[in-house]
Structure 1
């Protein structure tokens, strides 16, 4: 082997960034960007337990696959386990790692021999000595972890939307990753490396530092001074010390332009962009998310008649932990402390619709009943299909099912078209009056201003079936969920990528607001007073045997008043 080859090999083994560049050239990829090199440097020199948070599309999984090959290039006896949220995702990582070995000519010696394991989910490298554990193994986070052993564990996107939507799911995921410590070999060189993008404000990656992990963050845009404080010392020095640091500009200009990221901001909404591209999970402002689940009343909504009075409580004994909870940390649902046993007819029934325009989003709807200042929501959801006949038919049937008195339709973008299309269907299925409504206030502010006071006064009751159905119908994309939208709406314009279901609920509540001026306790007391007076009147009628004119005459005489007809 020539001295030149030895020098090159020494460089490749001593600095992962040289190895990364060489691999990228073999794959005919553009040279790694400065930000990608910085991630590579941290992979090599980071602590035993570390978390790499980088924005979507930066290539952290590809870089780490190359890092796994580099580790085996330096020491073929290492055992590496790759864990992802799903088995399929973990297999993709190991498959790419295996392809690197088989594609790059100067890595051919690492290819598995005839007698070695050589599957997509578990394979050996050529120089590896016989062992119970393969050189590289891939497994899903809910798969068979017990009994495995590894020198290095790569946890690649173990947190995804489906396993982080609810508090129960987050707690389960946090428990699963504890198993890593039982798998890791007790060696000074052993490591656990998490790669990921936070999927919610209560991300697992916020909890791991409490277990001794160091977190390093590479956002897509250079943050403001206020944002820097929110990262609490987790920002990569590369970001803070970059010579071209300019708040709001791209941190990786060779791959993502400012214009590209602005388009993604509009697509994701501010809250989604903050998570997926800025890796910002801070909740420093208590008023940032004003709508709280804990202010709702969760109860079965009767169809024919409703309870005359409800009393809210924050008592933990009334907490509903069994319901899927997509809210923020510490927020939870509560059932009422008191529900009046007496049921009376609802004063009003209404349905609101937020059309999807031309099918771009959902056509969202909410149904509500009004009684004594309280709003009862037995159904709220969304339908895909825009102005399609199936959607119109379904909405008409829902209106009939709940016997609504009026349907309120937002017509900001359709100039009344949706209402015009719905009317003939209603006349056939369920004749009902409609009301078109135009909005002129910024949507987010209008939603908050409408819902926050009603919720804080505990006047909004929602059937638990709405919570469950909403979760089930939006599992694949929680951004469409009513309760996800409710818990994450802020006063900032464009705070949510989707807000249709929440907007439909706000339209419904706004319609009822005039009636909400009644005090529910006062209305109930007035009703009781009226019943008492009626009973007294019946008693007087029975005792005196008098009705109509004579009763009024006696009453007025008792007060020393006599009408003109009495004198006659």
Structure 2
């Protein structure tokens, strides 16, 4: 290789300009040039985090071409979450090589590998490993060897929804250290956007990686502590110079303030913070007040329940066989015991006091028709069903809800009136009348939704009065798997419950959670009424007793003490 000289410029940024010109794209933006500079001069363990749509994968594809021109003897391995995604990357590299005149000399020769997913470049010497090879993260990585590993979006919603999935992914990427050649020039470069607050990318600094972050907007002052030295110097220098103000777009040539506002409206504030601001900061735990560890999870029977379910929060009662999309360390727990008024304090199983179905209607758009069914016994609320239906008020959804109400013996239905001015109730009523006649009540909300949901659920959950059926959690997870990896999480009740904050619009979808909050609100109001009724009855009884004592005193009779035990029959 001593007689070989590269044809591309020594500065990768100049070559990037040529690639963009070849692709008939506008010239690279300042931020794209900065990412290119980090790729060329980064460390041997580098993590590049940039917001969605910034073009990091395209830039890195060009970087692979540039690297092969400067180091044609290198073996480059491209790994993505899926084999298809990795193949798309290597195919794009191959097309650039064959289409750009400046790269023509890298075209594979007749006796070399020439597949889009595994190919050699013309000047490459004979080697067991191809010049470029693409694999999925779950593929057989063992046995591969590489001078440069490009880990392109290895974390996606489909492999990071639960802690078990994230742990598995974290173990899989450790294999990179066994694959990379033990050379001073060898490098591993991660490209990605965090998909979860507990992203596997968060652990990379502990493994010796330098992390560079390019968020979509200039971070707020209070968030700069979280970014620390991970924030790209390109951005920190602009902040220091006063040319980039808090909240302004960091790459206005590509995404204007208006563009970002549209995306924030689409993703919700929490999703935007994660995917565009790349902020996985969870130091402020009050930000997410609802935790699954405060729930009680058990198999709930349809007609009866124990008098008192005792919550347990220790490791001995952790449930590990249910999919858990909550934050890391936030786990489901089964009950410690059932208590009651039976012999030796054992619980009697009693019929429920009542059963309510709450419905949060929707139209035919992306939102779901949310529903929840909650039963009550002794101040404990049992969630026996909760989910979402697509298609809004179509006939099949109305029939499904009516049959569900019948199966669970619902005796009260509440529907949010804010949608359609009572239209949904008018459509549901005749279907319910035919299948399961029951009273329908419309409720209207004026308080900010996020505050209303948190203010309703938080005290009930903190007292461990909310008990949820295992089947509800399992169905909640499984029911969204056909929505696509990008959307599955956002529709799940447990994801919504653990990601809601007090910020307006923090969730992209909240239909299932809203329906659950409505049902809980109903029972909280009923319990409050029952307490007031009990107080009134106690007052009335006290007055009656006082009147009896007064009359007895007037008549010269001894007042009769209250007898709590029934007298025995005398023979």
User: TM over 0.5: same fold?
Assistant: yes
1:232 to partner: Cα distance = 2.8
1:474 to partner: Cα distance = 2.0
**How many residue pairs end up in the alignment?**
523
Where 1:232 maps in the other structure, the secondary structure is helix
Query: How far, CA to CA, are the matches of 2:440 and 2:526 in structure 1?
Result: 19
- Aligned counterparts, 1:176-195, within 5 A: 176-195=172-191
Where 1:249 maps in the other structure, the secondary structure is coil
- Aligned counterparts, 1:77-476, within 5 A: 77-242=73-238, 244-340=243-339, 341-475=347-481, 476=484
2:69 maps to: 73
Deviations 1:185-240 (A, max 9, x none): 00000011000000010001101111111111000011111121121321001111
1:535 to partner: Cα distance = 11
Which residues of structure 1 form unaligned runs of 5+? 1-5, 523-532, 546-568
| Contact kept in structure 2, 1:347 and 1:370, CA below 8 Å | yes
Query: How far, CA to CA, are the matches of 1:424 and 1:26 in structure 2?
Result: 63
Structure 1 position 48 matched with structure 2 position 44: yes
Query: How far, CA to CA, are the matches of 2:206 and 2:491 in structure 1?
Result: 32
| Contact kept in structure 2, 1:13 and 1:74, CA below 8 Å | no
| Contact kept in structure 2, 1:485 and 1:498, CA below 8 Å | yes
| Contact kept in structure 1, 2:362 and 2:419, CA below 8 Å | no
Query: How far, CA to CA, are the matches of 1:90 and 1:534 in structure 2?
Result: 81
2:507 maps to: 496
Where 2:568 maps in the other structure, the secondary structure is helix
| Contact kept in structure 1, 2:288 and 2:498, CA below 8 Å | yes
Give the TM-score, by structure 1 length: 0.90
2:491 maps to: 480
Query: How far, CA to CA, are the matches of 1:239 and 1:401 in structure 2?
Result: 58
Where 2:517 maps in the other structure, the secondary structure is helix
| Contact kept in structure 2, 1:374 and 1:516, CA below 8 Å | no
Query: How far, CA to CA, are the matches of 1:49 and 1:184 in structure 2?
Result: 11
Query: How far, CA to CA, are the matches of 2:348 and 2:110 in structure 1?
Result: 79
2:553 maps to: none
1:285 to partner: Cα distance = 1.0
| Contact kept in structure 2, 1:21 and 1:32, CA below 8 Å | yes
- Aligned counterparts, 1:6-85, within 5 A: 12-85=8-81
Counterparts in 2 of 1:214 and 1:366: CA distance versus 1, 3 Å:
same
Where 1:365 maps in the other structure, the secondary structure is strand
| Contact kept in structure 2, 1:352 and 1:408, CA below 8 Å | yes
Query: How far, CA to CA, are the matches of 1:214 and 1:57 in structure 2?
Result: 22
| Contact kept in structure 2, 1:13 and 1:73, CA below 8 Å | no
Q: Quick one: which of 504, 516, 526 aligns to 1:505?
A: 516
Where 1:352 maps in the other structure, the secondary structure is strand
1:534 to partner: Cα distance = 12
Comparing 113-122 and 66-75, the one that deviates more: 113-122
Query: How far, CA to CA, are the matches of 1:179 and 1:391 in structure 2?
Result: 48
| Contact kept in structure 2, 1:360 and 1:386, CA below 8 Å | no
1:13 to partner: Cα distance = 3.8
Query: How far, CA to CA, are the matches of 1:165 and 1:233 in structure 2?
Result: 28
Where 2:414 maps in the other structure, the secondary structure is strand
Query: How far, CA to CA, are the matches of 2:97 and 2:128 in structure 1?
Result: 22
| Contact kept in structure 2, 1:33 and 1:254, CA below 8 Å | yes
Where 1:382 maps in the other structure, the secondary structure is strand
Deviations 1:95-140 (A, max 9, x none): 1011110110121110111111111211110111111100000000
| Contact kept in structure 2, 1:409 and 1:419, CA below 8 Å | yes
| Contact kept in structure 1, 2:22 and 2:100, CA below 8 Å | yes
Which residues of structure 2 form unaligned runs of 5+? 340-346, 535-561
Deviations 1:404-438 (A, max 9, x none): 00111012121111001000111111111111010
| Contact kept in structure 1, 2:364 and 2:390, CA below 8 Å | no
1:536 to partner: Cα distance = 5.7
1:556 maps to: none
Give the TM-score, by structure 2 length: 0.89
1:515 to partner: Cα distance = 4.0
